[in-house]
Structure 1
Amino acid sequence: MFMGGFMDAEPTPQLPPPARAGTAAVATGRSSDRPILRHATLEWGRPASIFSLRGRLNLRVETRESSAVSTASAVKSVPIATLITDICAKLLSHHASLPSMPAVAARIHDAMASPNWSMRTIATIIKSDLGTTTYLLQVANSPLYAGAGPVRQVEQAIARLGINSTRHLVMAHAVRSMFVTRSALLTSLMQRTWASSTRLAALSGVLAKHCSRFRAESATLAGLLQDIGVLPILNVLNRYHEQLKNEAQVVGAIDRFAPSVGTVLLTRWGFDADMVEVARSRGNWLRDPQPSADLADVVLVARLHAEIASGDGARNVPRIDAVPAFSKLAFGDLRPDGSLALLHDEEATINDLMSSLGTG
């Protein structure tokens, strides 16, 4: 589901001007139009209440200066989508904190900033975290990277993957591990995001093997990172998990804002421009910034293939042979359903790579 492109969010009224921070009365989300209220403070510091009206969650924002909630107050009701939109806008304006670089990845980054860094230093950092060690060995032994024999030591894995690929893989794995929620909805969205990211990574890596201009490992990492902007959005929404019942609105907000949030996050973390562009171009099917293909084009074609082959939302995306990225890359024939024949032929390799990257 997160394979989709840009979605037009429902038009929503503007939030009223900021008022003095105060305590808000927030509904429990019960079906009655007269909700039982409890106190909470919303992130932007404006008194507000969430209530149900005719089965739809709404956000009521108080416009008076007092922090006390009163029926005499001037109020304005807006859909819950506005809450989500406001949160994403704050992420982009740095008024809400983006996640810091994960600890293991930050230690690797700091170590590599030293002119005296060595593979042994990087391996020692990785081995300090069992989950990261296991993940890196799995990827190094995957079909995409497999060499003459199995890799059993972290140092061997780094040598096979390359230092930059190692750093990016550690980052992707660590970011995924940062997300914790009590919300069944957000947990489901997180799991589906990671599953779609690993499939996108596998498809991108296999496509790059058929195109001499790009390294398969770089394309795999690009596919794994394209949805990175989803995670900060889910993390912030987790604070309001009791009010988030409408999955379609959450997904719409993710599809609208994930490219921009991902761009800001990868830029802040010091990723190369080509990886940042991959995040920025998420679902932008008709992008055509230059005559020659770039890494973002490979991931875009892989994403479009996944969308068409799955049948989910395929009516809302263009044909693969209608997008500029496809015309720049020699990826062969299409099947009757419009998906790429070569990727169907490589399905066993794709599934093995997904398993190595971790689909759950």
Structure 2
Amino acid sequence: MNTPPSAPVAERTDGSSIRIGALVPLTRPGWVEAGRHLLAGLELGVREVNEVGGIGGTPLELVVRDTAADPRRAAAAVDELTGLGVAALAAEYHSVVARAAAGRADALGLPFLCSSAVLDALTEQPTRWVARLSPPQSHGWRVYADFVLGTGHRRIAVAAQPGVYWATGSRILRDHFAARGGTVIELDMRALTPADVCDELADKRATALLLLVGHPDPAVPIVKSVRGDRRLAEILIGAPAGQPEFTEWAASLGDDGAGVPFLRYLPEHLTPLGARIKRTLIEQLGEAPSFVAFEGFDTVTVLADVLRSHGTDRARIAASWPRVAVVGTRGQIQFSRTPGSSVWQAAGAPIQVVDRDPAAPDRFRVLHTVHTG
């Protein structure tokens, strides 16, 4: 584990702000809609902290940098934000980008609370500097695989693009299905067109197709092709990475985008805080907030609590992760070490399998809910 000397951020007594660095995908090829929701939650969290006096009378300030889903850009932003004197780093949605940021934060001794990225191995080695709110990919995707198996599907095709996140997801699904008697047909989207995917599904007699690909391309063309192929009228299309969560999916696909199960991280019932924050986020976003917006708000809630209790010294912030115990929008937030994870992991995160209702595609149906331990 890297243990660089602590670079404390001086306590502010002159009326200046306490800065939190935020990494968010705000431009393509980043998932811009997810970035917008994440930033909305972060900004609302900061506003609420400042409305009740900030951190000991000092306002909290969010210093935002656009990662555009680029790991190198994110790593450079971590360097910049460290030099600007931020007390901690927050956010990011894309797992591969978050991994680059976490590695750099670990090397520099900058506390990083990751909001949304799920890749199990956020750092190459165990680190005391990084904590995460979202459940690890291995937990969520196994829940998803169990749901697919529970609906009677045993012959599953996985259409995947290259990349660490997609490759890890493919391995999790393949191992989980195979251990439970399922057959996994792997479709390499570097070599196949959407029409080719349809032919493969028909030839191999798959009953479910799971999309491990980017949105909108090639996810949208694949869904349109499969929905339009009469041979595949009964096939289940799934998207564990959560593409159907956002309005862009519904706008691109309409009715074809309904009935596609995906993962999201919301409980059956929000806390009273969460219910209030949901109403404010609807006003702020002009639409229902995704789980990503709640993750953003909860990130600031945790960091504000840590700053009030332990000050702005970076080493003290990092040392405080195992002592966090705050109520967020979705429940109690505490961190622990879990097998296979190199970072401090929030326990008890809710996991849902959800789809858009075919009878009303702007409405979500909760198909399955569990809580991680």
Asked if TM exceeds 0.5, the reply is no
Flag the structure with higher strand content.
2
- Tell me which of the two structures has the higher relative contact order, counting C-alpha pairs closer than 8 angstroms and 6 or more residues apart: 2
**TM-score using structure 2 length:** 0.24
Give the greater-gyration-radius structure (CA): 1
More helix by share: 1
